[in-house]
Amino acid sequence: MISEDVIYVGNEKFVPMITRDQINARLKELGEELTKEYEDKFPIFIGILNGSFMFLSDLLRETPINCEVDFFKLSSYGDRKISSGNVKLLKELNADINGRHVVIVEDIVDSGLSITYIEKLLEEYTPASVKVASLLMKPGSLKYDVKIDYIGFEIPDKFVIGYGLDYAQKYRNLGSIYVLSE
């Protein structure tokens, strides 16, 4: 079993940063906001795989409205902690979003490259509106001009894992968020 307080990956040490209770409380608030905004709009939530899977599923349980769900899959960081700086589309949308209200759901916005890439893609499909929800955001790392409409938590410019976020594809199943301590 993975330890619950400190996680070692080789000699790198990860410590707790955001607890499951804190996440749950914030998801309730975000769910209420989304419910108010989208109740009569039959929105489509588009998760960005893989990182958003846990956030998306828990967030939508707090958003009891008529909606649809679809996914894009983007290439990841690979096995490293720093973005390669380019994005590849690994899975296209299946839904027709022409004229639809879209909410992009991300695990974390770091440089903003992935969101910028997705927003450009979506323009071609002429949705009625596009907003972005991200569980985490690192304002200190932003390199692209992006607007995040629903932010779970702003965090310092440090590498984090858990609750969907991986390190070399591992640790996505942790129920809370851990940060690399230097």
Q: What token pair was written down for 50?
A: 């893989």
Contact between 106 and 73 under an 8 Å Cβ cutoff? The reply is no
Q: Which one among 44, 47, 107, 148 touches ligand IMP, defined by CB under 6 A?
A: 107
Which of 64/78 has CB closer to ligand IMP? 78
CB of 48 to ligand IMP, least distance (A): 6
106 lines the binding site for ligand IMP (CB under 6 A): yes
Per-position b or e across 146-169, b if 16+ CB within 10 A of its CB:
bebebbbbebeeebbbbbbbbbee
148 lines the binding site for ligand IMP (CB under 6 A): no
40 labelled catalytic: no
Per-position b or e across 46-83, b if 16+ CB within 10 A of its CB:
bbbbbbbbbbbebbbebbebebeebbbebebbeeeeeb
β-pairing verdict for 44-49 and 68-74: parallel
Which of 39/141 has CB closer to ligand IMP? 141
Interface stretch with ligand IMP, choices 20-28, 35-43, 110-118, 169-177 (CB under 6 A): 110-118
Q: Site for ligand IMP (CB under 6 A): how many residues? A: 19
Q: Which one among 51, 152, 162, 164 touches Mg ion, defined by CB under 5 A?
A: 51
The binding site for Mg ion (CB under 5 A) comprises 51, 107
